[in-house]
Amino acid sequence: MGAPNEPGEGSASGPPPRRVAVRRRALARVWRVSETAARIGVLAVQGNVREHAATLRGLGAEVVEVRKPEQLEGLDGLVLPGGESTAIARLMRLYGLDEAIRRFHAPVLGTCAGMILLGRGGPLERVDVAVRRNAFGRQVASFEADLELEGDERPLRGVFIRAPRVEEAGPGVEVLAELDGEPVLLREGATIVASFHPELTDDTRVHERFLELVREETHVRA
Ligand code: GLN
C-alpha cells in the first residue's frame, strides 16, 4: 500500500544516467565551492611548471610551487612536470627534494620527464614501469596524436615531446590511455604517469582524473 508516485517528481531510484557523464566536469565546480580546495604542489625546479599550475588553478585547486622540502608539508598532491629529467634529478638532489618526495605519500602526477623520475630505477621510483628516454615516435621526436582514453569515448589529444616509451609495466599498473596499443597514461596506486604533456592542451581530463584521485585519497586519510 505504498504512496502513489507524485507526478513531476522524477524517479526515486537515483539520478538519471546523464549525470554520470557530467560528473567529471562538475568536479571543478565542487573543488571551487568546497571550503577546502585541494592543495597541489608543482615541483618548480625546471620544466613546464606554469602550464600545470594554470590548469590546476582552472580546476579550482590551490597551487604551491615546490622548491624546498618543507613546501611539501600539508599538500594533498604533487605534480612532477616535463622538462629534462637529468636536470630535474640533479636539482632535486641538490635541494634535498628527492628524499623528501620519496617520503611523500599523497597522490603524484608525473608527466614526461616526471614519468622518467617515477619509473623503475628513477630517483623517485614509485611506479613499476620500465621507461626508455626519448624513445617514443619512430620518425619524429615530437608529434601530436589522438589517444584512446579508458572509459571515455572522446579521444584525448596527446602532445609528445622527446617522450619516454613504456617498455614494460608490472602487474599492479593500470593502463589509462594508449596510442596504437602502447600505454601512454598509467596508474599504480596513488601515482599517475603520462608520457605526453596534458598541460599543453585545453583538455583538462588528465588533471581532472588526478584531482579525483586526490579527493578519494583525502577522504580515506580524513
Ligand atoms: N626527453 C626528456 C627527458 O629525457 C623528457 C622530455 C619532456 O619532458 N618533454 O628527460
pLDDT interval class at 131 (50, 70, 90): very high
**Mean pLDDT, residues 106-133 taken together:** 98
Q: What number does the ligand 1 atom closest to the CA of 116 have?
A: 10
Domain ranges of the chain: 38-221
> What pLDDT score was predicted for residue 35?
55
Kindly give the distance from the C-alpha atom of residue 134 to the centroid of ligand 1, in angstroms, as a whole number: 7
**What is the number of alpha carbons within 13 Å of residue 64 lying toward its C-beta?**
18
Superfamily assignment of 38-221 in CATH?
Answer: Class I glutamine amidotransferase (GATase) domain (3.40.50.880)
Q: Is 159 in the pocket of ligand 1 (CB under 6 A)?
A: no
**Mean pLDDT, residues 150-175 taken together:** 96
Of the ranges 32-36, 94-98, 189-193, 214-218, which one carries the lowest mean pLDDT score?
32-36
- Report pTM: 0.84
Q: Going by C-beta distance under 8 Å and a sequence separation of 6 or more, which residues neighbour residue 52?
A: 42, 79, 81, 111, 199, 207
Instruction: Report the chain's C-alpha Rg in angstroms.
Output: 19
- Nearest residue (by CA) to ligand 1, atom 5, is 113
Q: Is 116 in the pocket of ligand 1 (CB under 6 A)?
A: yes
Of 48, 161, 199, the one to substitute when testing ligand 1's pocket (max ligand atoms within 8 A of C-beta) is 161
Strand intervals (E) in the chain: 39-43, 62-66, 77-80, 108-111, 129-132, 142-149, 156-161, 165-169, 174-179, 182-188, 191-194
Q: Is 83 in the pocket of ligand 1 (CB under 6 A)?
A: yes
CA 30 vs CA 61, 84, 213, 222: distances in Å: 10, 34, 14, 18
**Cα 72 from chain centroid?**
17
> What pLDDT score was predicted for residue 30?
54
Q: What number does the ligand 1 atom closest to the CA of 83 have?
A: 8
> What pLDDT score was predicted for residue 218?
84
